[in-house]
Amino acid sequence: MDAPVRFNLVLNSPDRRLLYLSLRLLLDGLLLRQQQLQRVENYTERTSLAKLLRLHRSMSFKLVGVLRLDMAQVSQWPSIKQVVSQLPSQLRQHFYGLQLQFTHDAATDPTVIGQQERALINWLRLSTGYFEAPLLRSLLADMIAAWQVCLESINADILRVGTR
């Protein structure tokens, strides 16, 4: 299947549009966490950021596979504007607010690890209500659960180190 046909699949399906936007948020989060990991020296923070980074990476690859996109052709993927313009206004506003959190980490509190991921969980929960395909709803539920387990693990690590 050539690239334009795959991209039409993304643009023409409401479920795939939401998955695609979730993928773009995951990729933004991946870049953000890579940048933060390079700047942080504290072991606990580095470990926490590495956990988030791994989860961003694995979920991104999962969605790339589901959407049948080619990572070598990211520059040819549909634009975010193109996809967001087809969303209901509530989702559109929520997406743009969340995207700002992932692209401008200075706008968020750097002392709160996982803040963006909590916002991502809210996006996934909101998106789930718009999905038509039960399998994709199930995929989102699994993603939400994985993020919650990861964030709980990070909180436990921080509490354990804090009590020493």
How far apart are alpha carbons 63 and 71 in whole angstroms? 11
Q: What is the four-CA torsion angle of 42, 47, 52, 55, rounded to 10 degrees?
A: 160
Identify residue 57 by its one-letter amino acid code.
R
Q: What is the four-CA torsion angle of 33, 93, 149, 34, rounded to 10 degrees?
A: -10
Under DSSP, the state recorded for 129 is: T
State mean pLDDT over 128-154.
91
pTM reported for the whole predicted model: 0.85
What pLDDT band is residue 164 in, cutting at 50, 70 and 90? very low
Residue spans per domain, the chain: 3-162
Other CB atoms within 10 Å distance of the CB of residue 30: 19
